[in-house]
Structure 1
Amino acid sequence: MSALDGSIVIISLPAIFRGIGLDPLASENIGYLLWMIMGYRLVQAVAVTTLGRLGDMFGRVRIYNAGFAVFTVASILLSFDPFHASAAATWLIAWRVLQALGGSMLTGNSAAILTDAFPADRRGFALGLNQVAALAGQLTGLVLGGLLAAWDWRAVFWVNVPVGVFFTLWAYLKLRDSGERHPGRIDWWGNGTFAIGLSAVLVAITIGLQPHGGHTMGWTAPTTIALLVTGVVLLVSFVLIEKRVAEPMIELGLFKIRAFSAGNGAALCASLAQGGLQFILIIWLQGIWLPLHGYDYADTPLWAGIFMLPLTLGFFVSGPLTGAMSDRFGARGFSTVGMVLFGSSFVGLLFLPITFSYWAFALLIALNGVGTGMFAAPNTSSIMSSVPARYRGVASGMRATFQNSGTALSIGVFFSLMVVGLSANLPEAMSSGLQQQGVSAGVANDVANLPPVSSLFSAMLGVNPIDHLLAGTGTLDGLTAAQRDHLTGHSFFPDLLSGPFHDGLVVVFAASIALSICAAVASALRGRPPQKPVASSRD
């Protein structure tokens, strides 16, 4: 449920913004669009470690159960948006933050609860199912969002309510806490510097993706720079505080455990490599491949989700299987080979033509899913089994923080690389192409010089980019029927986008290959599993 809501809204954004009467691609509204996508991930990255620590102190099941209730209440409030336009978007973003907090209560403690409940020889299988549930929710949301949004945009949030109500009751009645509980004082300074510092960095990334002062992105904006500097200073302060307080939020001594530090390092590299991939592949499908194969732009969000299903199937096959096998043979081999396969899929995607054969694409993303599944469950089992029982909550939260932060950073980096690539070639190609079809030089240059991020997001939202860009100029009315049909048809924009987009893909996939290699090396360095968890320096 938590992972599903991270992706179901992405596919449903066109219906949501139509429902509240807001154009998300207008330059003044792009911030609303970005915060609808990034706000949920930001909160999940920041909150899970603190909530995992609270689980260690007050009971993991207690925090987990509260997560169901918070998530359900937020879903109800989201579906009853009473406002219109920008006020409605602000309402949705605010309650998405609460929803993400509830989701963080779930994800920050679920791995710890399973580790408590299962013996070491069955733990990998249990955590494998947990990882499958997370990815299944993430990728199923891409299809489910398209189906529900076609009925009513509010249904995207309604779908959580019966599930949330049932499992809130079920968890309170049936779920028992079998882990250790160690009450203590809350590390307010540590929690504050960590939350504000990481939030500042992730907010800066979100702002950096928005146009600023005539630039295609806002990385040079004073606000962005100030937030990045503040965030780094606070995170450094956090480390210094944690070394000195009696009851720290994070037990830094856990990083002396090789399996813990190597596993989290590998997870960070893997999430950096894959986090933005979902968005890049969706834009590739929706902005280029599907229109060139005759699909209407309005239908591309749903079909992109369907064509991404091999990724889910690959993970479904390998996740539980390798999780169970790692119980017997250890995590290092499976997780390392998984990252090698994961990186190999990026090599294949790197050499795939922009108008690929679908079966080649399907096999490569299925290989990506297999590699992810081989890595995720054994790696999680290795991390959770390496720490003392009293720290399993905070260890689960830290694992999720590395993963969620990597995903958020990846989205920012991948989008930035793509926008830089498009900015170099797309404006000239678009201006020339528009003028060849009868658009005046002034209008063509104005449209071509709009921020490329608008073109990327329009493709992702299932909006015809050229139709949208020219809609307010009155230009289409002065063209011949043949010129209008060509400009707003299935080939003009994809043909323009193909060259610059492929240049960006080369950079993005090369970065993913390098990160996959780093993840494989880190995974291989985790060493053999200890006979029992290594004691912390404070034990």
Structure 2
Amino acid sequence: MTGNPPPSPATEAARSEAPRQRLALAAMLFAVSMTFIDQTIVSIAAPDITDELGLSASGMQWVVNAYLLSLAAFFALGGRLSDLFGHRRIMLLGTVVFVVSSVLCGCVPSGGFAQTWLIIFRATQGLGAALMFPAALAVVIAVFPVDRRGRALALFFGLSGALTAVGPLLGGWLTEWTWRAIFWVNVPVAVVAIVLAVLARIPEKRRTGRLDVVGAVLVAAGMALSVLGFQRASAWGWSSVATWACIVGGLVVLAFFYGYERRTRHPLINFDVFRDRAFTVDSLVLFFAMLAFVPVFFFASVYAQVSLSASPNQAALFLLYFFVGFGIASQWGGKILDKRGARPAMKIGCALGAVGFFLWAQKLTDLSMHDQWPYAAMAGAGIGFLLAPASTDAVNRSIDASYGEVTGITQTIRNYAAAIGMAVFGTVLTHVTTDRITTTLQDRGLPTAEAEQTARQVAEAVTGHPDGQGPTGDGPVARALRGAGDAIRMDFAEANQWVFYGMAIALAIAFLCALAHPGTRVTAPPPRQD
């Protein structure tokens, strides 16, 4: 009787590595979950924070934006530091910076210094996230072989992306106790992440080279300045000198950064990676997809609260339709990547997303939350199909296995696109909403000046200037909504249609970019040149 043959050394090695891989993936998921949740959780608690601390509307907006600005400005630096000093070490450092900043945000004292305190430590939160995320993603890439990397990163992006929808739900529940808890909740999550990272015994690898301090300062300044211009465009206006000074000034600094990087011996970003056609296509697909992916959280949530009269928690549940499709499709996308490469998954995702957002836009004026779920799920599925394959394929093509550096590049592209999407779509929503509500109120007999003022108040409430008197409160916006009834809600729904059609166009452009992908697959790590 012949027994089963003994397992090969390669099989035994794979089995011994599997528990460490799962622990490492779990550790990184716990770490990055904090960064995703904090992108949305503060917006829900904004009215309570404003009321208790006596912040101005613009001051609260700075509290929200400080995190996003810092995140975008330091991603490239985080990726480079991860390569130079070790992915695990920088991930742990970023986690500590993030959680200490979170605790200090929750401990903000009352008084005149409160606004400055919150802005400072929200910015250091963003710095911690910028250190943590590229390193965490590089850890996952390093511990999983190429043939299993697609499914691992599909789980990484699927779960971490879905956690963005948890922010509003968790924020609404915690705020009922105290808004400070939205920051303190990061402490136990960080402890779990650190413990799992230690237990996983993640191997530490470093690259030789020096930190490009000048490049780090230039890219941080250029990103922060240009993102600031895009983010504040709705408040300052697109005709404002300040808006264009920030945008153009930031782009000029980034152009100077590019020239400097091409000349320096140890650049922060090796732009030679863009010579790879597939990497460039992956980056373009991510850019246009992110114009829709991050902004949809905000615009769908506000649409639900204004046009559907939903509570913040109900609005968060509305977003779950999107994430059901996203979560399921992200796993399929990872399997397609492992078997056939990134091009088929990106084409399917872009096409499905474009159709989903287009059909979703058409259903917004039905003013029924449940009638929209198939189209919201379709839009989410489109993003889910493309996100992990495009990101993974880009990182797999990194030069000299510089995973941290290339992760910093792709994440910078994603955050930059999200900021542009928020600004452009926010401006569209503001103008269309103001025009339509002004007409509605004039038709009901209000004087032109009063109609325009009320319309502007509604527009201000939905473009991110919380004053504690938003669409579900007792302020002028809420009174206008109650007074005009369904007419204003329909006006706002029609204005949102323009935004969602814009998202469909962004995905259609991403589809055209995906067609240019050469279709080649990465089946082994790129050669290392030390």
TM-score normalised per structure 1: 0.85
1:454 is aligned to: 460
**1:4–1:308 Cα change, 3 Å:** same
1:182 aligns with 2:207: yes
Match for 1:417 among 428, 431, 436? 428
1:358 is aligned to: 369
Match for 1:282 among 285, 290, 301? 301
Q: Distance in 1 between matches of 2:454 and 2:384?
A: 42
Q: How far did 1:81 drift?
A: 0.9
Q: Distance in 1 between matches of 2:48 and 2:257?
A: 41
**1:330–1:443 Cα change, 3 Å:** closer
Q: Deviations over 1:442-475 (max 9, x none)?
A: 983574364553242589877347941289xxxx
Q: Is the 8 A contact 1:35 1:206 kept in 2?
A: no
Match for 1:8 among 9, 26, 41? 41
Q: Deviations over 1:165-189 (max 9, x none)?
A: 332344345442354x213122222
Equivalent residue letter for 1:236: A
Q: How far did 1:277 drift?
A: 1.9
2:152 is aligned to: 126
Q: Is the 8 A contact 1:52 1:394 kept in 2?
A: yes
1:383 is aligned to: 394
Equivalent residue letter for 1:284: Y
2:68 is aligned to: 41
Q: Is the 8 A contact 1:60 1:113 kept in 2?
A: yes
Q: Distance in 1 between matches of 2:473 and 2:449?
A: 12
Could you tell which deviates more after superposition, 144-153 or 201-210? 201-210
Q: Deviations over 1:417-449 (max 9, x none)?
A: 1112123232343355474xxxxx598357436
**1:495–1:322 Cα change, 3 Å:** same
1:469 is aligned to: 476
1:55 is aligned to: 82
Give percent identity, aligned residues only: 27
Equivalent residue letter for 1:272: L
- Partner SS state of residue 243, structure 1: helix
Q: Deviations over 1:20-73 (max 9, x none)?
A: 234xxxxxx332232233222222112111110111111111111111111110
1:498 aligns with 2:525: no
2:351 is aligned to: 340
- Partner SS state of residue 152, structure 1: coil
Q: Distance in 1 between matches of 2:300 and 2:477?
A: 26
Q: How far did 1:162 drift?
A: 1.5
Q: Distance in 1 between matches of 2:461 and 2:207?
A: 52
Q: Is the 8 A contact 1:315 1:373 kept in 2?
A: yes
Q: 1:48-127 alignment to 2 at 5 Å?
A: 48-84=75-111, 87-127=113-153
1:235 is aligned to: 254
- Partner SS state of residue 366, structure 2: coil
Q: Distance in 2 between matches of 1:252 and 1:376?
A: 22
Could you tell which deviates more after superposition, 376-385 or 403-412? 376-385
**1:175–1:504 Cα change, 3 Å:** farther
Q: Is the 8 A contact 1:8 1:145 kept in 2?
A: yes
Instruction: Please tell me the root mean square deviation across aligned C-alpha atoms, in Å.
Output: 2.6
Equivalent residue letter for 1:260: F
Q: Is the 8 A contact 2:58 2:465 kept in 1?
A: no
Could you tell which deviates more after superposition, 442-451 or 358-367? 442-451
Q: Distance in 2 between matches of 1:409 and 1:493?
A: 33
Q: Distance in 2 between matches of 1:419 and 1:43?
A: 26
1:529 aligns with 2:521: yes
Q: Is the 8 A contact 1:64 1:109 kept in 2?
A: yes
Could you tell which deviates more after superposition, 218-227 or 70-79? 218-227
Match for 1:218 among 233, 237, 247? 237
Q: Is the 8 A contact 1:276 1:410 kept in 2?
A: yes
Q: Deviations over 1:200-255 (max 9, x none)?
A: 11111233221xxxxxx432222222222211111111111111111111101000
TM-score normalised per structure 2: 0.87
- Partner SS state of residue 363, structure 2: coil
Q: Is the 8 A contact 1:67 1:106 kept in 2?
A: yes
Could you tell which deviates more after superposition, 112-121 or 182-191? 182-191
Q: Which runs of 5+ in 1 are unaligned?
A: 23-28, 211-216, 436-440, 472-486
Equivalent residue letter for 2:239: T
Q: Distance in 1 between matches of 2:294 and 2:359?
A: 18
- Partner SS state of residue 104, structure 1: helix
Q: Distance in 1 between matches of 2:178 and 2:437?
A: 35
Q: Deviations over 1:367-389 (max 9, x none)?
A: 11211111111122211111235
Q: Distance in 1 between matches of 2:473 and 2:157?
A: 40
- Partner SS state of residue 525, structure 1: coil
2:281 is aligned to: 262
Could you tell which deviates more after superposition, 261-270 or 221-230? 221-230
**1:403–1:232 Cα change, 3 Å:** same
Q: How far did 1:198 drift?
A: 1.2
Equivalent residue letter for 1:46: A
